[in-house]
C-alpha cells in the first residue's frame, strides 16, 4: 500500500499531536484549586475542589450539599483559597446583590459580607492568570 506524501505527513502530524497531548495515563493531572466558603455566624465551612479551566460554575451546585448550605441554599461570609498554584485566580460573582470577589496568591481570603451572604445566584470561575491572553 502506497501513501502519498500528504497522507504520510498528515499521519505523522496526528500521531505527534496524540503523543504531545496531556494525558492522565502519562501522569498529567488537570490543575485544580480548593476554595473554602465559611459561615462565620454558624461556624460552618466547606472546601470544594474546582478545576482551573476558566469555566463559570454555580456556587449553589458546588456547595449546595455541604455544611455551609441550609435547606439547599448556600450562606457564607468569607471565601478562602486553600490549595492552588501561584498563577491561579478564582472569582466569585453575583449580579444581585452585586458581588465581585477575587482570590489569588496575593489575596487568599476575602469577606463576602456580614453577617452572611446568600450565594444562591453566585458563580465561581477559576483560571490561570493571563489565560485570557491565549484563549
pLDDT digits (tens, 9 = 90+) for 67-83: 999 998 999 999 999 99
Q: Report pLDDT for 72.
A: 86
Angstrom CA distances, 6 to 1, 2, 9, 13, 19, stand at 15, 12, 5, 10, 20
Q: How far apart are CA 67 and CA 37, in angstroms?
A: 9
CA end-to-end span of the chain, whole Å? 41
**How confident is the prediction for the chain on average, in pLDDT?**
83
pLDDT, tens digit, 9 for 90 and up, residues 4-34: 554 444 444 444 334 444 544 555 567 999 9
* DSSP string computed for 23-90: -GGGT----EEEEEEEETTTTEEEEEEEESSS--EEHHHHHTTSTTEETTEEEESEEEEEE--TTEEE
Share of the chain above pLDDT 90, in %: 69
Q: How far apart are CA 133 and CA 16, in angstroms?
A: 26
Amino acid at each position: 500500500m502506497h501513501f502519498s506524501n500528504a497522507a504520510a505527513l498528515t499521519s505523522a502530524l496526528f500521531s505527534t499531536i496524540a503523543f504531545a497531548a496531556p494525558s492522565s495515563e502519562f501522569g498529567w493531572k488537570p490543575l485544580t484549586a480548593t476554595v473554602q466558603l465559611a459561615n462565620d455566624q454558624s461556624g460552618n465551612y466547606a472546601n470544594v475542589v474546582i478545576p482551573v479551566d476558566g469555566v463559570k460554575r454555580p456556587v449553589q451546585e458546588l456547595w449546595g450539599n455541604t455544611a455551609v448550605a441550609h435547606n439547599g441554599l448556600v450562606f457564607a461570609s468569607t471565601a478562602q483559597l486553600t490549595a492552588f498554584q501561584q498563577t491561579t485566580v478564582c472569582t466569585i460573582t453575583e449580579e444581585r446583590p452585586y458581588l465581585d470577589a477575587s482570590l489569588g496568591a496575593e489575596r487568599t481570603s476575602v469577606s463576602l459580607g456580614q453577617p452572611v451572604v446568600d450565594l444562591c445566584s453566585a458563580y465561581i470561575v477559576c483560571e490561570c492568570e493571563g489565560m485570557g491572553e491565549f484563549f
